[in-house]
Amino acid sequence: MERRHGTASGADEGTPRPVGHGTASGADEGRRLGAATVIGLSWVAGSFPFSFLAARAVRGVDLRKVGNGTVSGTSLYQVAGFGPLAVAGILEVAKGAVGPLVARGRPRLSALSAAAALLGHNWSPWLRGAGGRGLSPALGATLVQAPEAALWLLIGLTGGRLLRMTGLGSALAIVTLPLPLRRRGAQGQVLAAALMAPMMAKRLTGNGRPARRNVRTYLSRLAFDHDPA
């Protein structure tokens, strides 16, 4: 009598599979950084005050003592001109993209890392809590996650400067940020909130306590980024 041989599929089922060889997606999961690491990395990147360093290197000026004390591209341009502003501006935008790039594929973590970059920028530990208003790193973060939001912020900033009302132009872009992100659903609104909160908080707190702590003062800070005369 002839012996019956098992089918190829049966032989395959009985053959032990190599251990430790997962799918490509599983390997990618294993290489991902943890949420705390991504957020911390984003905060550190955001905290580097490139505009401050450029003003120090080129003119020996402390931007915390220029104008209203905001460490920003506007202040840098006033003391050092366009060249240093262009170099520092690229770096200021790029640092906002670090966390979202590392967290790509994880929308909520990307939004949180963007917020962390803005917190580091607005209240930099290297400047003893001083900093900018968050627009540059917000541009970097949105370029990665939602380019339409980056364009929205850029239009507000540019329009404000053309009208010599930079504070108002940027404020309008910030408070209406959910509009360009509405097509992205809940994730878009999470990103809008993550960006709006640190930018609005910085405008309200300013660079120090106001002489008069009343509703008019805080509305002026929010809308025009300075205290009323």
Q: Under a CB-based contact definition with an 8 Å cutoff, are residues 121 and 91 in contact?
A: no
Burial of 76 (0-12, 13-18, 19+ CB in 10 A): buried
Query: How would you label 7-42 residue by residue, b for 16+ Cβ within 10 Å and e otherwise?
Result: eeeeeeeeeeeeeeeeeeeeeeeeeeeeeeebbbbb
Give residue 64's pLDDT: 94
Task: Show the low-confidence residues of the chain (pLDDT under 70).
Answer: 1-31
- Report the amino acid identity of residue 185: G
Q: Under a CB-based contact definition with an 8 Å cutoff, are residues 101 and 117 in contact?
A: no
Give residue 40's pLDDT: 97
Note the pLDDT tens digit of each residue in 52-73.
Answer: 999 999 999 999 999 888 999 8
Give residue 26's pLDDT: 41
- Report the amino acid identity of residue 143: L
Give residue 11's pLDDT: 43
Give residue 68's pLDDT: 81
Pairwise CA distance, residues 40 & 47, whole Å: 11
Give residue 31's pLDDT: 63
